[in-house]
Structure 1
Amino acid sequence: MNYFEIIPNKFLSSYINCYWVLEGKSDLIYENCERVLPDGCIELIINFKEPFSQFSENNKFETQPQSFVVGQIKNYKLLKPSSNFSMIGIRFNPQGAHNFFEFPLYEIFSQTVDAEFIWGNETKELCERILSSNLSQKIILLEKFLLKKFFVKKTSNNIIKTSLDFINNDKSIFTVEKLSTKLGISKRHIERNFKEHVGIPPKTFLKIRRLQNVFKHIQNKKQIDWLTLSYISGYYDQSHFINDFREFSGMNPSEYLSSKEILADYFINK
């Protein structure tokens, strides 16, 4: 597999973390499933070749659409790569995605939604044009589409922006109670804003960020002091740490460390 990221233009970089490209080819269909872990971001993905299959709520693998939006998730997703794939993704930042959608983002929580259901024929036209373009042209077309979908009336929500600034700059904020104290506003008000503008409750977002930091720490390492890592990550109960880790990844810490999760490593939020 080949994975790389591209920085958006100056304006869109306030709302989008990156564009990413994932490509791969094999004479054999990939037999092993790949895990994708929650990262607190919503994504728009466009396939140029054979789409992946995704393990669904119906307990079977279903082929992903050509273009689709992935809502916030709180647990890992199982994907089965195709034998010949090429795709581009737009990773919205947590406070930026709501500027491109006309509905509360919690409505697509834990869902993979065909982009045509959201933007209609415009998505189909974008895909048709983008398929015959080189990479630089693809980015230009994507950015034109995104700028067209941007809602000026949905300027960045101050509560969300301030909350995320606190979370990113103060690694000791692990609870909504502490965030509420920092902001000087009620937990209920924070929760309502997070669900509408970020797509998940603040408690879930904080858990994702905490576990993302754990996964960044263990990348490319063979031996980990799990007790120390759980403590510095804000877990004062080892069983709580293991339960959250298993819910997040589907494995306990030692199982994950010995596994080879290529996509999970690619998509660990930088």
Structure 2
Amino acid sequence: MILFKNYTPVTISKLVKSIWYMELTIDDPVYEEEIIPDGHHELIFYLTASCSQRQVDTNTWLEEPYALLAGQTTECYRLKMFAGAKLYGIRFFPHTLYHLLNFPLHSLNAAVLPLDELLPGHGFWNHITDNPEQTFQNIENYLADLLKATSNPYIEYSLGQILNSSGTIAVGDLIKKSGVTPKHYDDLFKKYVGITPKYLCAILKFNFFISYKKSYPEKTLTECAYEAGYYDQSHLIKSFYQFARMSPGKYFGSNPIIGQQFAGL
């Protein structure tokens, strides 16, 4: 079993999507899952030592840092967690980590960076406790002082439209409304989001499908695919092999607890 608690900060709700707590309480000593791309950046803090590893190739697993930045990913990776693992996460919107770091985010794609290297002297650990509710409030107050509004009006508008549509909006229409060239538009997204708007939409639509299917298990894959904006089931299957490296049936059959939780977060 995985215990999960989620908190939506009130004072910085436009900059931080969620602050969450996860605890692995399963009886088995090890839990493994393919972690799919979800279009968001996160800061993650482990409260327990040597409790999580990420697979980098067939025979190699690397231990995750105590505090880390998880950058944008465009393909899945396998995560191994051990019983008793406890961790907090700060989930930013696709474009709002820039408010904290203030440098182009495409350089962080697929990166797992120790937070001490990225933000030397950061004070997050001073606000993290064993009590999730207290920690949620502490982190919200701390981030309220750290985050500065340094975004771009094109990005702010476009991300609002993309998120509201769960990635189904036509990117070409957004570019036309912006009045800038497609190349400049892509460059802005790479700077503030890390990936292009087309790729972000594909990831968000994929996650919406997973969340929708979890909410309506009685519906067929085809019915859920149409609700998520896919043209047909073959388009959906292509997305599964692109982002999860497996078929929809195999993915849901593996009971991906973390992926289904975060797909709707």
TM-score scaled by length of structure 1: 0.86
CA distance in 1, matches of 2:166, 2:86: 36
Structure 2 unaligned segments of length 5 or more: list them: none
Indicate the residue corresponding to 1:45 in structure 2. 44
How far apart, in 1, do the equivalents of 2:159 and 2:222 lie?
A: 27
Please give the per-residue CA displacement for 1:79-132, whole angstroms capped at 9, x wherever unaligned: 111121111100011232110013211111011110001111325xx32x3455
The aligned residue for residue 70 of structure 1 is 70
Q: Measure the CA separation in 1 of the matches of 2:219 and 2:141.
A: 45
Residues 93 and 172 of structure 1: CA distance in aligned 2, closer, same or farther (over 3 Å): closer
The Cα shift of 1:8 comes to: 1.2
SS of residue paired to 2:90: strand
Match of residue 7 from structure 1: 8
Q: Tell me the CA shift for residue 26 of structure 1.
A: 4.6
In 2, are the aligned partners of 1:174 and 1:207 still within 8 Å (CA)? no
Distance 1:171 1:62 in 2: 33
Amino acid at match of 1:47: Y
Give the superposition deviation at 1:59.
5.0
* Aligned CA distance change for structure 1 residues 228 and 83 (closer, same or farther; 3 Å): closer
2: CA distance, partners of 1:170 / 1:78: 29
- What does residue range 53-202 of structure 1 map to in structure 2 within 5 Å? 53-56=53-56, 59-123=59-123, 126-127=124-125, 129-130=126-127, 134-152=131-149, 154=150, 156-170=151-165, 173-202=168-197
1:91 counterpart letter in structure 2: R
8 A Cα contact 1:39 1:269, kept in partner = no
Q: TM-score w.r.t. structure 2 length?
A: 0.88
Partner deviation per Cα, 1:173-217 (whole Å, 9 max, x = no partner): 454323323434321121111110011111110101111121122
C-alpha distance in structure 2 between counterparts of 1:110 and 1:16, whole Å: 20
- The alpha-carbon deviation at position 41 of structure 1 amounts to 0.8
Using the aligned pairs only, state the percent identity.
25
CA distance in 1, matches of 2:64, 2:201: 29
Give 5+ residue unaligned stretches, structure 1.
Answer: none
Q: How many residues align?
A: 263
Inter-partner Cα distance in structure 1 for 2:207 and 2:89: 20
Mapped partners of 1:262, 1:172: distance in 2: 23
- Alignment partner, residue 246 of structure 2: 251
Partner residue, 1:203: 198
Cα distance in 1, alignment partners of residues 104 and 118 from structure 2: 13
Structure 1 CA distance, aligned partners of 2:154 and 2:79?
35
Counterparts of 2:165 and 2:47, CA distance in 1: 40
Secondary structure in structure 1 of the residue aligned to 2:48 = coil
